[in-house]
Amino acid sequence: MQLHQFLELSAKKFPKKDAVWFQDNWYSFAEINKRSDQIADFLFKFGIKKQDRIAVLLDNSVDYIAIYFGILKTGAVVVGLNSDISLESLLYSLNDSNTRILFSAFQNIKKINTILNNLNYLEAVVFNCAKDKLNDININKKLYSLTDINDKHKRSNNYSSVRTIDLDLAEIAYTSGSTGRPKGVMLTHLNLVSNMNSIIKYLKLSNKDRIMVILPFFYIYGKSLLLTHFLQGGSVVIDNRFLFPNKVLETMVKTEVTGFAGVPSTFSILLNRSMIRKYKFPSLRYVTQAGGAMSVELQKEVYDLIKPAKLFIMYGATEASPRLTYLNPKFFKKKIGSIGKPVDNVDVFIANDNGDELAPNEIGEIAARGSNIMAGYWNDQDSTKEVLKNGLYFTGDLGKMDDEGFLYVVGRKKDIIKVKGYRVSAKEIEESILKHEAVLESAVIGVNDEILGEAVKAYIVLKNETSVSEEDIKNFLLNYIAVYMIPKYIEFCKKLPKNEAGKIMKSELINKKE
């Protein structure tokens, strides 16, 4: 099975069913399938061939969904780009992937024009605007209007002649670049279809489910929300206004969503900067969290707040399409802090550097194998060999497994700080800081120190304007961690640098350290 068949099958089975809610309107599966056919017809007539790369630089929308499936119908490969991407990363990603056509929001015209002369493979840009907006733009690439494509191109059956198999490449998902140059994660149809079926199984998704989507589709967690629900004939509710979280809460109530998904910062914002406690969500069945470790204290708050809805703590990576493990809600209280057990059709265990499985409670690297694991990094064999070895994917996360088979993340393999010869987990310090009632977020890094080798530095965001001092934090931490783990330096800040997916960008903190 290939990904574009998710839409085709649902359009055949539920043609008039509400598939996507966007900007106060519902769109049916039949409507979206028609739009995707029009995109496919345009691409065929342009001369796109199987496995050509087509990039998408758009916010979540009905257009994004139609473009995504339209590209896949031609046998081409989707290159999903962060809608807030930097010029440098945009230039690199388009050239690295040999992208032929770019679909973009019109607001990116100046950014794109700045780098056009340095784009070696790009032949055309399609903007999400009317044709007349492009009349006065003079650039050395072909320009097309998405509105014009939707008006002129008809439903095409050309794609039925394109033979694809599940091992064909479906996407190149560029990582956030939190550590150096972005890496293009190659995901096949098999990778994604396999993992979507695993997610559907443990969430028990059906065509009656509606997911609230605030996570971007270029982000693999956000993409999984779209794909799982389209495979089941469920519905997707898109609201891009999370800067105003109460607006999203109103949408959740109005559209009667059954599911909600977020990263740790999502829930911090909802609990501390919205009126979520005043809302009721009678249709809400479950909430999922992934995209980085969420503190135990925050997990407990979310768990209590959403009852009787269930909280699923999940773990994964873009390289895993994305899901590796989940914690069954019935074990939440007993195994608090755990990332659970492997999802269906995936093996996950704790390994040494050779890939040998370690005994329970021994700390090693979290490794996995399954049909969901990426084909490798695009144009980067060295990086591929670092993480895909001995038939396993090495996540870069350190973890342990208890006697009952439940997994725990204890830190990043490269996020370990050496203080006086001690190996200190930045994650452990961060979670201890978050136990302080005045703290909203924290990030811990190592800084050079002539005496200690490395010293611990903590960046802290407070919940509100409170008079908490460095000494207050240090004294508080004495209750939870060893003395040598107490941060030598503490810097209070209004916010932490994050990527579009809500993950803290430690590289920016490291680069600014003194």
Please list the residue range(s) of the chain that carry CATH number 3.40.50.12780: 190-372+391-412
Contact 397/407 with Cβ under 8 angstroms?
no
Beta-strand ranges (E) seen in 71-110 are: 77-80, 101-104
Greatest CA separation found in the chain?
71
More confident residue, 135 or 108: 108
Confidence of residue 353 (pLDDT cuts 50, 70, 90): confident
pLDDT value for 450: 62
Residues 6+ apart with CB under 8 A from 26: 18, 19, 20
User: How is 393-404 classified by DSSP, letter by letter?
Assistant: EEEEEEEEE-TT
Distance CA 268, CA 265 (A): 5
Show Cβ contacts of residue 439 under 8 Å, excluding neighbours closer than 6 positions.
433, 460, 461, 462, 463, 468, 473
- Model pLDDT for residues 145-160, shown as the tens digit of each residue: 999 999 888 765 555 6
Q: Tell me what pLDDT residue 309 has.
A: 98
- What mean pLDDT value characterizes the chain? 92
- pLDDT of 179 > 50? The answer is no
| 4-16+28-164: CATH number | 3.40.50.980
Token pair of 318 as six digits: 């873009």
Using 50, 70 and 90 to split pLDDT, how confident is the model at 364?
very high
Q: What is the CATH class of 190-372+391-412? A: alpha beta
Q: Among residues 246, 299, 239, which one has the least CA distance to residue 274?
A: 246
Compute how many other C-beta atoms are within 10 angstroms of the C-beta atom of residue 499. 17
Q: Where are the alpha helices (DSSP H) in 365-437?
A: 381-387, 426-433
For 479, residues 6+ apart whose C-beta sits below 8 A from its C-beta are none
- Mean pLDDT, range 282-305, rounded to an integer: 93
Whole-number Å distance between alpha carbons of 291 and 175: 12
Listed range (46-60, 74-88, 246-260) with the worst mean pLDDT? 74-88
Confidence at 178, pLDDT banded by 50, 70, 90: very low
Which pLDDT tens digit goes with each residue over 190-236?
999 999 999 999 999 999 999 999 999 999 999 999 999 999 999 99
Determine the 3-state secondary structure of 192 from DSSP. helix
Q: Is 102 helix (H, G, I), strand (E, B) or coil?
A: strand
CA distance linking residue 164 with residue 170, whole number of Å: 10
- What span, in angstroms and rounded, lies between the C-alpha atoms of 348 and 341? 8
Matching residue, tokens 């350290």: 513
pLDDT for res 156: 59
- Residue 249: its pLDDT value, please? 98
pLDDT at 181: 74
pLDDT in tens, 318-343: 999 999 999 999 999 999 999 999 99
Return the residue matching tokens 């979206």: 32
Beta bridge partners of 323: 316
Q: Cα(252)–Cα(248) distance, rounded to whole angstroms? A: 6
Q: Does domain 416-512 bear CATH number 3.40.50.920?
A: no
Going by their DSSP bridges, the two strands 310-316 and 323-327 should be labelled as antiparallel
Where in the chain are all domains bearing CATH 3.30.300.30?
Answer: 416-512
Higher pLDDT, 181 or 256: 256
User: Which residue spans of the chain are classified as CATH 3.40.50.980?
Assistant: 4-16+28-164
Query: Residue 505 has what pLDDT?
Result: 83
Asked whether the predicted pLDDT for residue 180 surpasses 60, the reply is: no
For 433-442, write each residue's pLDDT tens digit.
999 999 999 9
Please check whether residue 184 is in contact with residue 311, taking contact to mean a CB–CB distance below 8 angstroms.
Answer: no
Share of the chain above pLDDT 90, in %: 77
Percent of the chain topping pLDDT 70: 96
Q: Residue 484 — very low, low, confident or very high, per pLDDT cuts 50/70/90?
A: confident
Cβ contact 199:321 at 8 Å: no
Cβ atoms of 7 and 229 closer than 8 Å: no
- Start-to-end CA span in the chain (Å): 52
Residue type, 150: N
Per-residue pLDDT band at 460 (split at 50, 70, 90): very high
Of the pLDDT bands very low, low, confident and very high (cuts 50, 70, 90), residue 264 is confident
The DSSP symbol for 168 reads S
